[in-house]
A and B are shown apart, each in its own frame.
Chain A
Amino acid sequence: MHENRSTPARVWLFAALALAAAVIVIIGPALFDRFTLNVLTRSMIYAMLAVTVDILWGYTGILTFGQAAFFGTGAYASAMVLSHLGASPALMVLALALAIIVPVLLGAFVGWLSFGHGSTPLYATVISLVVPIVVTQLVFSGGVWTGSSSGLVGYSGLPLGLPGYFRLTGICLIVTAVVALVFTRSDAGKLLVAIRDNEARCAYLGLDPQRLKIVLTTILAGVAGIAGFLYANASGVVAPENTGFVFGTEIVIWTALGGRGTIIGPVIGAIGIDYLSAQLSGDLPFLWNLVVGALFVVMIILLPNGLAQLARMVLPRGNEQASPSGSPTLAAEPAGSGSEAGNRVLAVGGLGKSFGSLQVLQGIDLDVHPGELVSLVGPNGAGKTTLMRCLSDGTEATTGTVTIAGQDISGMTPDEIVALGVGRKFQVASVFDSLTVADCLRMARASRNAPSLLRRSATLGLPAAAADILRSTGLDRMLGRPVSLLSHGQKQSLELAMVVALEPKLILLDEPTAGLTKVERTTIGATLQKLTGELGFAAILVEHDLDFVRDISTRIVVLHQGKLVLDGSVDQVVNSEVVRTIYSGGAHA
């Protein structure tokens, strides 16, 4: 029950691979000459960095050149302790501790700087360029403390000898790679891919992607610091170029050539290229760089997933049908406490929104109670989607108040509002294209049930309402299927199921039926009626199809030119003179 069928095979494969690597590392000193041992020791340290870059860039989508800075900070912290204080066992521990702590602190700061509400992926990349430049400059101006351009040399490191360093770094690399493989394949690891695919959706599932990215940056800065400690000891020298932005780009190049998002690819890429360059660059330095550069450009354009992708294309494929994660089974989750009928779920007072001098919304007052299905109608440009945005993001509204479950949301970020009980479904299905159906749904539960850092769950716990949607749309039989293979309608249903899985008190739906077939539309309508009528959810629905609205709504609100012009029962609104004139295009109320 706890293991699904494909898990043991995968685990055995990884274990066998790790074991094989460990054997090579242990017997390596007997196989290789000194030169090869030296080069491979350094290459393996670089490979650890490539793994961290792969987690950040390959999995999470953060293109970073900054790992070099954390690596360099760790290396310099160690080398400075060993140079200026000495290399007694206690000081060695201090060197290791500082090699982790200093990069972690720097990483936390860089993370905070890079990932604020509303900062773009490009901005994070920008910061990752600036950090190595600043750190390098500090090293240059550090005088005798950092050795300036000459670096630090002549300190004594761990008394291991060449074979010892080779084994130590080999084991560190294997541990790093195995931990990274286990983590990225765990339920929690899917979170990284979710952030890469669709950060907005993560936020609207109650997750805080920015905070997660800061945590990730901080931890991986520490890992880079450990690599720096190893480097400072094994090489016996640290130099400014170890912290520089050019080195940062090299790590990215290794990762890209090896194959991002595979962990093993970047390890092979880093070791392979660094080893080859040690062999070849003496003979043809410029040509070697030219070849690497050209190869890199070609790869980025034609093979964005690197050599790993090529390997998959060239090698005979195994059983293509077995989905990589297997299909988990559905399990019921106990329903959370429903909201008490009668209390207002949503209270909007005097809401206004303007872009510069353009007033898009003004003076909106609206109350919604549990069990209500309120449809929001109005012509294009009336401000419907803007209103939905103001209800789900506390930084949007210009004036007025929005209160959800008794709490004013002004200034709150989407994930905080989700925690109050708001679920938002977007007009264009917003799901995670690289994940499976089950993983998408698990993301929706991640804010309630912390996903495992180590394993893939064999079960998928969902509240009954969400499971019902899956059953009525047939998605329950496709849990292991990648989302990218779903139809348009299935994606819409999946997103609705994800939103419902949040167990919100209030669901915001922006044209959920757009582009759907008649059958799919009816299914969604029935689902919505059941959610509100039987289960006590409240829902606000933006919809153009007036027939659909008339069939399912309990109340209709009409928005026109940024103002709320009518709020009443279905009959009142459908038969009103105002609506007819608005929709015939003649009114200027």
Chain B
Amino acid sequence: MTLLLDMVTTAAILFIVAAGLLAIFGVLKIINFAHGAWLTIGAYCAVATAGLGLNPWLALPIAFAVGAILGGITELVIVRPLYRRPLDAILATWGLGIVIGQLITLWFGRDVQFTPNLLSGTVDVFGVGYSLYRLFAVAAALVIGLAFTFLLEGTRLGLSAQAVIMNEMLARALGIDTARVRLATFMVGTGLAALAGVLLTPLTSVDPNMGVAWLIGSFMLVMVAGSSFSTLAIACLVFGGAQVLVSTFVSPIFGGITVAVLCALVLRISPKGFARA
């Protein structure tokens, strides 16, 4: 039972972390290698919120807003000139990640920061005591997934974004302001990343490098998932589940590289990953 819960909650956490990256990659076909930095920004928003004595839950909207605004600036200044050079975009965003990490270090210091827990304690699930927060993470992942599906299917922005995914030239010909769609998508993606940073604080330490550990895993999951949130959910369940199984029954050391290695193999066999129609 615990094993099953571990698998589902691990998948949920991976989903939360990767969602922002997927939003950007799905629409813009750009890998935001500063994704880890945005997770960190989000977590430091939680630190700052606590520092101001506000309710810790307020960190969620604050982080989303801060992440989106900084993302907007990044899109305009750094990413926009690089849409035609996707590999250079990886490098530029990686460099940006270094810069953000150093700025956070200069501002907050290297120390591990303290954040108040959003939810603590355990609950009984079918007779097993299980971390309440991990269960909450599943709910959070569902909310993010559903909200994003609604955004994509039910709003003008979402429909425009879908048009851009399918055929950018055509979308532009139809009068869609693709530059604006890209800006908005990038802002949503970075906002989600910062939000995920807040949601991670009860599970990890908050320090200037915290994001890097999550970057490669979410990057690989997004590569496998392609551009759809439902395939991302499947990928998280499959590979997150595999990670828990390997960690539990083989060795946590190999568990740590399970997601990356399995994703690489899946992509070798099927270059489009799970997105194959």
Contacts and interface: CB of A to CB of B under 8 A. Distances in A.
Touch A–B, Cβ below 8 Å = yes
A116 B268 contact: yes
Contacts of B105: 286
Given A300-B91, A356-B277, A286 B96 contact: no
B227 to A, nearest CB: 13
B234 interface: no
Given A116-B268, A130-B220, A249-B94, A290 B103 contact: yes
B271 A293 contact: no
A125 B106 contact: no
Given A129-B219, A249-B94, A297-B92, A137 B99 contact: no
Contact of B91 (A61, A127, A140, A252): A252
Nearest to A290: B102
Contacts of B176: none
Interface residues of A, number: 38
A126 B219 contact: yes
Contact of B102 (A119, A134, A293): A293
Contact of A126 (B81, B94, B106, B267): B267
Contacts of B253: 137, 140-141
Interface string B148-192: 000000000000000000000000000000000000000000000
B271 A118 contact: yes
Residue with the highest number of chain A CB atoms closer than 10 Å, among B87, B91, B277? B91
Given A134-B257, A289-B102, A300 B92 contact: yes
A350 interface: no
A297 B219 contact: no
Contacts of B223: 122-123, 126
A134 B87 contact: no
Interface in A286-339: 286-287, 289-290, 292-294, 296-297, 300-301, 304
Contact of B216 (A116, A118, A129, A286): A129
B88 A300 contact: yes
A120 interface: yes
A484 to B, nearest CB: 15
A510 to B, nearest CB: 19
Contacts of B50: none
Contact of B87 (A63, A118, A297, A356): A63
Contact of A130 (B94, B99, B261, B271): B261
Contacts of A215: none
A125 B87 contact: yes
Contacts of A301: 78, 81-82, 92
A105 interface: no
A134 B99 CA distance: 26
A126 B220 contact: yes
B154 to A, nearest CB: 26
Interface residues of B, number: 34
A550 to B, nearest CB: 33
B261 A134 contact: yes
A247 B128 CA distance: 44
Contacts of A119: 267-268, 271
A286 B91 contact: no
Contact of B99 (A63, A133, A294, A304): A294
A19 interface: no
A141 B254 CA distance: 10
A126 B106 CA distance: 31
B103 A304 contact: no
Contacts of A232: none
B31 A122 contact: yes
B260 interface: yes
Contacts of A63: 87, 90-91
Given A134-B257, A300-B92, A123 B99 contact: no
A140 to B, nearest CB: 8
Given A137-B257, A289-B102, A294 B219 contact: no
Interface string A261-276: 0000000000000000
B109 to A, nearest CB: 10
Contact of B106 (A120, A252, A290, A294): A290
B256 interface: yes
Given A300-B91, A301-B92, A356-B277, A113 B264 contact: yes
7 contacts: A61-B87, A122-B87, A129-B260, A134-B257, A290-B99, A300-B82, A300-B92
Interface of A: 61, 63, 113, 116, 118-123, 125-127, 129-130, 133-134, 137, 140-141, 245, 249, 252-253, 256, 286-287, 289-290, 292-294, 296-297, 300-301, 304, 356
Interface of B: 31, 78, 81-82, 85-88, 90-92, 94-96, 98-99, 102-103, 105-106, 216, 219-220, 223, 253, 256-257, 260-261, 264, 267-268, 271, 277
